[in-house]
Structure 1
């Protein structure tokens, strides 16, 4: 499959061949959703916690005698039914991470790239290198593609100038090829992939 090779200013430089197995698949939204759910679950901290009856402060003494007061019987002041008491069946620290096979994660990436490619949102860039780290220059270059969120996938390492420029640019994220992921691809309006990143991406998703 052929795609246009562009500059960072969205000027056409020629054609380039891309792998059909990565950019030409029929959309499987169910697989993409599974990978996105796996990603989102993995980043959840799981540090939520409430105190049980044994952890709240307070006396273990019976607040009043069992009979004759007209009140419901109470064992201590820390019961779950009392104000300031413990919480029954509350959340505890745990991992939200779920298991997902590596082949499914790779397949999710392929389908996400294929969907975006079919929508015309994936662009192959000849080079992401900039002469100097200047956010205004990067924003001006990216505005030639349109308005929205940009996800830029560079080669093995990100060019330092574009990395520094993107730090202050709104809705712009630059990652090395190892940092490419389904969630950011789906959540972006434009995916710019450097020419150097293509063979590395093919190798990663093989």
Structure 2
């Protein structure tokens, strides 16, 4: 019995079981787990902010790229026009110099074809020599769609209309500079369904 008491007395305190040691280990493990969860959440938040930033840059980049293809109309009330089609811009510039003005042709009525021929001749091109808008349907070189500098031949109730393409709006409609549009030279978008021929000048 004395030996047993000595052994019990000599046993180090560290070797004795502690009732709270299991709880302490559990709390320590739980603390590490909580720290990892918080770290993971912070990482996800940072990644989310980064991804949002990348998405925003991509969207802004697309918007900038689209904006680079658009330019304001100089005489169309700020109408947006897309460029870069590679047509004859001298015809567009000459026609645009008359925008907002009255009839410069001397013909009293139905003068859109006369105006188009006048602009072509002043820029060194051969016109049709006709005062009929439809004469341009068999003129020049046909192209499949609207191009800057191309001549658009259009239908209208009771006749036809003709003008030069200066751009294309967001809906794909050609923007046309033409004479005798409301008795003036105007630059405006027209329904693409009205155009039955696009031709490049001779």
Question: TM-score of the superposition, structure 1-length normalised?
Answer: 0.23
Question: TM-score of the superposition, structure 2-length normalised?
Answer: 0.23
The structure having more radius of gyration, on CA atoms, is: 2
More strand by percentage: 2
More helix by percentage: 2
